[in-house]
Amino acid sequence: MNRITLQTELQYLPGGGPRRAELLAKLGLHTASDLLWYLPRDVLDLTEVRAPGELVEGEVQTVRGVVVDRDARQLRGGRTLTAVLLDCGSDYVRGVWFNQPWMLQRLQDGQNLLFSGKPRRHQARWEFSHPRIQYLDPEDTASDGGVIPKYRLTEGLQLHELRNLIRTAVEECAGSVEEWLPEDVRSRLQVAEISTALRQVHLPRSSAEYESGRRRLVLDDLLEFQLALGLRRRAWQDRGAAPALQASAKIDARIRRLFPFRFTAGQDQAIAEIVADMGREHPMHRLLQADVGAGKTVVAIYSMLLSVAAGFQSVLMAPTEVLAAQHWETIDELLEESRVERLLLTGSLSAAQRREAVDRINRGEVQLVVGTQALIQSDVVFPRLGLAVIDEQHKFGVEQRARFSGGGAPHVLVMTATPIPRSLCLTQYGDLDLTVIRDMPPGRRPVTTHRVQSRAQQQKAWEFLRKQVRAGRQAYVICPRVESESATARDAAAEKVYDYLSRTELSGFRVALIHGRMERDERSRVMGAFRDSEINVLVSTTVVEVGVDVPNATLMVVLQAERYGLAQLHQLRGRIARGLHQGYCFLFSDSESEDALERLAALESTADGFEIAEKDFELRGPGDVLGTRQHGESPLRVADLSTDADLLEEAHAVAAQVIDAGSLSHADFAPLRRRVLQRFGRAFDLPQTG
């Protein structure tokens, strides 16, 4: 047999062959090298599995068995009990869950499982309360023990076949993989050489060995990403000198006089950080994040007026016309008595209107511009752009921060009203400095939130809403879709809800309908009427999630609330109680799913967007950390930001040291720099040298 190398095609590996190679190709596996990087999704540690007769009370232990019986019952006080009987060969073990009725569907007769937890004796039988569950394949239960890597498969490919091929690739080729981490970096991170790490994850002799190998691969993944972000930050700063926009006491006082209120301490601190950046000659690249209603727009307007006061242009780009119009109305009203030349540029302008607006921008006649992506078209040139503000940047793409054409390198302020967990800040926004506003303007009270489940509870909620509307308040009713999904679907479509509520619960009130399929002019007319209190209740889809500010709207009913993400529900809730009156949000849902109950409970327990962001991250995971991807490949190959936050902090610290020291230009860092550029050079528009 010819020697196996990293480039050997899989059909030529022992146990390969053309048919199996075709199956492996469906998983993106073509060579021995591909097998090395096809990492386990998890491992089963069968080294500590005990028979029921070996269990002791009060220690974390694991048993293995087959589900032979399931039971669910109602207890006093409305609680539920779900129980499962596991046949462990020599005896039976019971697993029980309180108030988790969905477990009855998750566990089926005949399933092979591992139960882990602290058992106790109950009615002459060992019982695990809320045990951790791992699902086993038949071949896992036949194993004599050990640590078994688990891989994603495709139809027709058996797990033991894939494991045998991977074992061959590791034994023959792991030693040929180039080491790209310099020795001093490996020492700082306390990780093994890459060849050792690959053996540890694929052929572990213990869980600790697997975790050691995985740690090296995760740190590689995160370090390369953090280095790419560091290079992009440096490239941004090297683009050219930015205008140094100084804020004198006179300018500061002149800007503050425009606002009919005092800034909060959080707003003052944010302004101080931004002013310090804008006073320097290298471009600011800062993220401003705040909870819904914390007043980040005020900070953005102050920053834009500082640029205008220094003789430069400012621009604010929003992801939708609705949000752009909201910003425009706020700014236009604030500057009503000022001489600041300003305009709104969106895709809805006529050709003639757009031509005139673009000409004025290009000639430098306009000092302040608000708009949508129409602002970054090739014909729009800002000759003296001092500051670009990008709102809800995750709705765009990473490269769009730098697409404002014109002279020099402007300062850039990115804003989001969706609080972001720190681990995502270090990835999605890792090339930005961070400013956070945590306090709220005086008078803003948390919205009282209730989950509404039964028919009787719903009737009480509607009666409360009617009473509040009679007292002069306004309400939203949020629906998950515009039209019915099917004739038999449990219906919460906006059109049918509007028709039903108008005839029943809200008969006699002024009710209107708005959704994304309506013509833009009609949506604007309805929204304007609601803002002017001509409409009592607005039945809507999530089109009102951003860009709607109606201070008198204090009530919200969300139908089929289980269909929304936690962050989205928090954003929707942020549309109400933006004035002086207490807000109330009712989450209608009869779902019993574990995920839905956790999400809705989180909304009931806190109005803190930062807490909700962490909970949402815990429940849903990080998603795509680059937001709108410019290229198909996921940025992180191994790391899981939900569980690897501590390793991210390590990688971030080491990457900062490497970038600050200029180490990537050294010869011993050449393999590492090459990997970073191969993975992220195109996506991040990184310079290939230097």
CA distances 123 to 62, 74, 126, 201, Å, are: 20, 20, 8, 42
Query: What is residue 146's predicted lDDT score, i.e. its pLDDT?
Result: 77
Cα–Cα distance between 648 and 616 in angstroms, integer?
19
Ramachandran angles phi, psi of 376, nearest 5°: -110, 25
Residue 681, pLDDT score? 85
Q: Could you give all domains of the chain from N- to C-terminal order, each with its CATH number? A: 48-141 (2.40.50.140), 274-280+295-416 (3.40.50.300), 448-606 (3.40.50.300)
What is the tens place of the pLDDT at every residue in 560-589? 999 888 888 988 898 898 878 899 999 999
What is residue 323's predicted lDDT score, i.e. its pLDDT? 81
Res 485: pLDDT: 56
Residue 532 phi/psi, 5° resolution? -90, 10
pLDDT at 630: 36
Give 406's Cβ-side CA count (13 Å radius).
28
Nearest to 394 by CA among 410, 417, 374, 362: 417
Task: Using the Cα atoms of residue 428, residue 433, residue 438 and residue 444 in order, give the sign of their dihedral.
Answer: negative
Predicted pLDDT at 615: 79
**How far apart (Å, rounded) are the C-alpha atoms in residues 562 and 600?**
7
Measured torsion, CA atoms of residues 439, 441, 442, 448, in degrees rounded to the nearest 10: -80
Structure tokens at 53: 């007769």
Tell me what pLDDT residue 626 has.
46
According to DSSP, the residues that pair with 94 across neighbouring strands are 85, 127
pTM of the model: 0.70
Q: Is 400 exposed, middle or buried (0-12, 13-18, 19+ CB in 10 A)?
A: middle
- Mean pLDDT, each 10-residue run in order, the chain (690 residues): 87 92 94 95 83 89 91 79 92 90 86 89 91 76 68 88 93 95 94 96 92 96 92 78 90 94 93 95 88 87 96 91 84 90 89 92 94 87 92 55 59 83 73 84 84 91 97 95 58 87 94 87 86 94 74 94 87 86 93 81 85 77 47 66 86 92 92 92 73
Distances (CA, A) of 154 to 44, 140, 544, 631: 20, 18, 42, 25
Residues whose CB is less than 8 angstroms from the CB of residue 208 and which lie 6 or more positions away in sequence, other chains included? none
User: Taking a C-beta distance cutoff of 8 angstroms, is the pair 236, 277 a contact?
Assistant: no
So what's the pLDDT on residue 568?
A: 85
